[in-house]
Structure 1
């Protein structure tokens, strides 16, 4: 894993050298994920265990000179906090991205707002920003919390599929969803999330979804 992560960062450095411009800066993120199933938090870590578990991989990205670390599909507070603590020890910026269920809550039942408030309070606002990934906007729209919370949410990598995590787990075919609906929902979310500036896609998406989302956002810029 150490070798592959370092190779990935070197590959991204070459891509940056080839394609970065003054108008389009390229940031290299070392991505990590949860220890277990991103959809089903089980055998959950405490904060110290999570810090220890994620420390080695975060150290690899630090040594490889990634610009930051992004932890995706976090599904409960303690593991996210352990990841932030590990990044702080290694002195590398970190982004935390939570996945949410169809009720807008984390898979362990906690609220998105409480997770962000607790992480910021406990770590002195160490995370650069927060994201939501692997959920359709219809699942969490108007459920993310207060205006203060929304100001800390800068990124979104939504599913095109409106299926629940359980349904996705049991699917035998990719559900590409309604591309136009997804683009409209991104636009609506930008109006309620003033900091939103990092976008992408998750389950069911490909480059055509991202293109449609960008067209929608740029048309209303």
Structure 2
């Protein structure tokens, strides 16, 4: 059963860590094949499940060592119906793998959680299409209906919340929030930006957050930014009220654009120390930012740097 669904500890002042770029780590550093960038596919075998557990453990150890909270994000960014069909899974098989992902995180929490390191389990959702290419043809109701099945599976599990990462349109983000509200589970929306600090669909972060809040009666418990470098989105963050709704960051290691990353055949891990310093600068400006992790190209080195630079 869920532990924190009705009282999420990251809504307080304690710093919470996240993992890094799961898929890029598994592919480029661990040498695994992930068809369609789908980490959940590993859950179909015992060996794959063990590799996923091994992936999480360095972040668990870091959180315990530094006495930070930890949000355990499930490896299910691609575990929605359209992607499951591409991978040859039935909807029932997909449901089982989504449940299995939460079971894995539940076992990790039972084994490693301490009073100083609360561990929140988050069911991860991703965009229906390509995270870098907005699905302009999908409206709010269609998005809600598409994501409802995965949200319902997480709501019926030990997940404390759901988080939709790499959102690139207002409509899909709104639909996911409505699905989570229907399932009575807390939801986080994480938008991605291009190098100009705007969503791939062209709207600003301010416009996106204000629109989703207006359509859902301030439904998300908070917002995040992911899959973009701090150089890209920091100029868009202002002192206006909407910025207070942004509590988390999962930045890319690379300064490359989404188009450049799509064409890359090698991992660009950037500079972990520099990235950690940039997170600290963001925290100096926006002290409410307390959910910190990484996205593409980041690994345990980057999260260690972030934890170290944001120690105070």
User: Could you tell me the TM-score, scaled by structure 1's length?
Assistant: 0.96
4+ residue runs over 3 A deviation: none
Query: Cα deviation per residue 1:65-90 (whole Å; 9 max; x = unaligned)?
Result: 31000000000100000000000011
Query: Cα deviation per residue 1:181-217 (whole Å; 9 max; x = unaligned)?
Result: 2111101111222321111111111101110111111
Q: Does 1:126 align with 2:219?
A: yes
Query: Cα deviation per residue 1:79-137 (whole Å; 9 max; x = unaligned)?
Result: 00000000001110000000000000000001101111111122111101000000000
Query: What secondary structure does 2:162 align onto?
Result: strand
Displacement of 1:180 after TM fit? 2.1
Q: Does 1:193 align with 2:302?
A: no
1:42 and 1:86 mapped to 2: Cα distance?
Answer: 18
Q: Unaligned stretches of 5+ in structure 1? A: none
Greater RCO, 1 or 2 (C-alpha within 8 Å, sep 6+): 2
Displacement of 1:176 after TM fit? 0.5
**Correspondences of 1:1-221 after superposition (within 5 Å):** 1-42=94-135, 44-218=137-311, 221=312
> Is 1:29–1:69's contact at 8 Å kept on the other side of the alignment?
yes
| TM-align CA RMSD | 1.0
Aligned length: 219
Query: What secondary structure does 1:141 align onto?
Result: helix
Query: What secondary structure does 2:210 align onto?
Result: helix
1:52 and 1:72 mapped to 2: Cα distance?
Answer: 18
Q: Unaligned stretches of 5+ in structure 2? A: 1-93
